[in-house]
Structure 1
């Protein structure tokens, strides 16, 4: 199975004005990495999900996601922002883990990935390490094994 996250899916010190900017940026990363069948459909599905359910999870973290056949390979793209942006009604975020999961054959994979992330994100030390990481390789070392669900 291909790795769920790789260094080419990690963006550090991103300057963004809105969650829409970040969602589009990470979708572009996923598309360039060959993880999507249809970038525009994937983006539309992420926005549709955002309309129905808030994805700000607290701790300055958001987990936008879509489960759609517009996705070729289950993946997580990550962005760490230079400055916080408003995400949901109550949440400003600086770290975004954007999930892309295919409908076909994925079962509850998106839930497994979200659960694996959640188990780590509750710890201040883990979030501090992500905030302080100097490279995509450091981020990958911190989270890669955590979300490498099979």
Structure 2
């Protein structure tokens, strides 16, 4: 499964307002709920927050990739947010985060789906030029093109 198959313009927010990691995850979960991808938003948010307890998803360079597997997720999906203000995420480089790519994975999905999407996103986000384009994009369609 490829990023382009699971990222759509209706799950992109270029000016997300949030003050904390938890608030960001909650707001991004709404993007999945609006698309009818979750049967239980609260259960999904809990799964993502539980994942954060084990180790941070703040990968550095102002980027976080929170993700959760849950029975509440109907099909694999990605949401993208550019935050209006940087927030603390306990990132590996100890710097605040301004770009968030969140993955929603059904509990029943094989590890391969989860790992292939996560791997593809992580590799793309190591490209400094691509990250700069994400920071400067002016539309959801641009974001999908850049990450796709």
TM-score (norm 2): 0.91
Within 1, Cα distance between the matches of 2:117 and 2:84? 25
Return 5+ residue gaps in structure 1 as ranges.
146-150
Within 1, Cα distance between the matches of 2:34 and 2:143? 20
**Which residue does the alignment assign to 2:117?**
113
Question: What is the CA RMSD across the aligned residues, in angstroms?
Answer: 1.5
**Which residue does the alignment assign to 1:92?**
96
Verify: 1:50 aligned to 2:49, yes or no.
Answer: no
Return 5+ residue gaps in structure 2 as ranges.
none
TM-score (norm 1): 0.90
Cα deviation digits, residues 65-87 of structure 1 (max 9, x gap):
11111110100111001221111
Within 1, Cα distance between the matches of 2:116 and 2:18? 28
Structure 1, 82-91 or 121-130: larger mean CA deviation: 82-91
Q: 1:53-92, aligned counterparts within 5 Å?
A: 53-88=55-90, 90-92=94-96
Q: How many residues align?
A: 144
Within 1, Cα distance between the matches of 2:95 and 2:58? 6
Report the Cα offset of residue 108 of structure 1. 2.2
